[in-house]
Amino acid sequence: MRRQEGFTLIELLVVIAIIALLLAILMPALQRVRKQAGAAACKANLHEWALVFVMYTDDNDGLLMDGYGGGIDGTWIGGMRAYYLEPKIRVCPEATKPMSEGARGSFAAWGVFGRGLAGDEPAWSGPKIEGDYGSYGMNELAYDTPAGAARSDHRWRTVNVKGAAEIPLLFDCMWYDVYPYDTDRPPDYPGDVAKTGGAGEMKRACINRHVGFANYLFMDWSVRKTGLKELWALNWYRGFNMANAWTKAGGVLPEDWPQWMRTFKD
C-alpha cells in the first residue's frame, strides 16, 4: 500500500509552538512600532494646529481667543473652527475613544459633548457644542480674557512674547484645557486626571500617552515630545515659578516623584 503523505501530530505541535514563540518575540516590537507611529501622527496633528493658530493670530493682531466669556466659541475648539475643516485633527491617534463611550484614563478623549454623561460636559452644554470631541487641550492662561478676569496678570494673551519656545499652547491632554499653578502636584497614579476645577489641573496634561512623554505645541510654533517631569519646568504663565518644588532648581529628589513616574527621564 502507498503511504499517505502528511504531517504527524507531533510535527504540527512543533510548528504551532514555533509560530507562538515567534509571535511572542515579535509582538513587543510591533507594539513599539505602532506606538511610535501613533506618536508621529500625533505630532503631525500638532504641526497642523500650529498652522491654524498662525492663521488665527495673524488675523487678530497676534492675540488669542478670549476664553470662556464667549462659551465654546471663545475657546480654541470653537474660536478657530473656521480655520480647520477636519475635526479629527483634535484627536491624538493614541486617544480616540471619548468619555461618552466609556473611555477613562490617559488614553481617553474628552466628549462627545451633547451626548455624554452630565459630568463630562462643560458648563455651557447646549446645541453649539453638539458633537465636539478631542484629546488635546490648551493652556488656559494663554487666552486673551477680558480685563478683570481671574488671574489677569498671569495671562499671556498674545503669541508675541519673549521665550515663546518654552510656553505650552496645545498638547496631549485629558480635557480641552488646563488651568495650571506652579504648586500643582503630579498625578499619584496613571489616570489620576480628575477634572479638579481650578487647582491641580496639571494632572490633565501629565499623562503617559507616549511612554513617558507627551507631545506639545509651543508658542513659537515648534512641536516636540516633552518629558512628563519636564512639564513643571515650562513657563506656563506670567510669573510661573520655574524653580518650583517639582524641578531640579527647586530641589526635587528622585523619591519625591510618584512611583509610576520615577523611571521617566528628567
User: Using one digit for the tens of pLDDT, what is the confidence trace for 61-95?
Assistant: 999 999 877 688 899 999 999 999 888 999 999 99
Give the percent of the chain with pLDDT over 70: 88
- pLDDT over 90, % of the chain: 62
Strand residues in 16-158 grouped as ranges (E): 97-98, 108-109, 136-139
Q: What pLDDT is stored for residue 93 in this prediction?
A: 94
Q: Band of the pLDDT at 4, cuts 50, 70, 90? A: low
The pLDDT score that the predictor gives to residue 53 is 98
* Secondary structure of residue 157 in the 3-state scheme: coil
Instruction: Tell me the pLDDT band of 16, cut-offs 50, 70 and 90.
Output: confident
Across the chain, mean pLDDT equals 88
pLDDT (average), residues 201-223: 94
Instruction: Give 224's strand partners.
Output: 216
Please, which contacts does 52-56 make with residues 24 or more away whose CB atoms are closer than 8 Å?
52/80, 52/83, 52/84, 53/80, 53/159, 53/169, 53/170, 53/217, 53/221, 54/221, 55/83, 56/80, 56/83
Is the pLDDT assigned to residue 238 strictly greater than 70?
yes
Residue 256 has pLDDT above 80, yes or no: yes
The pLDDT-based confidence of 14 (bands split at 50, 70, 90) is confident
Band (191; pLDDT cuts 50, 70, 90): confident
| Residue pointed to by grid coordinates 459633548 | 113
Q: pLDDT, tens digit, for every residue of 96-112? A: 999 889 898 889 999 89
Q: Which residues contact 58 (CB under 8 A, 6 or more apart)?
A: none
- pTM: predicted TM-score of the whole model, two decimal places: 0.85
Q: Are 137 and 149 in contact (CB under 8 A)?
A: no
